[in-house]
Amino acid sequence: MGRNKHIYVLIAARERKVGEHERKIAIERAKPLPNEELIAHWQAEMLEWEKQRARYVRRLHRNW
């Protein structure tokens, strides 16, 4: 697999994980007593994945 294709795969994986966590957060908030600690944990993970995704995008635009 080429370098760019590998980076695109990594970006897609991060986007998929963020989507899964957004769905989990929506389900948790719909509950009568949502677990705010769990929601905060998922949001922290999503923030880290967004940072990783940004690094991958920057790597794509680098000239070798």
Please state, in angstroms and rounded to a whole number, the distance separating the CA atoms of residues 59 and 52: 11
- Give residue-wise pLDDT tens across range 4-29: 899 999 999 999 999 999 999 999 99
Query: SS3 sequence, the chain?
Result: CCHHHHHHHHHHHHHHHHHHHHHHHHHHHHCCCCCHHHHHHHHHHHHHHHHHHHHHHHHHCCCC
Contact 39, 29 (CB under 8 A): yes
**pTM for the complete prediction?**
0.81
Of 3-7, 24-28, 42-46, 49-53, the least confident: 3-7
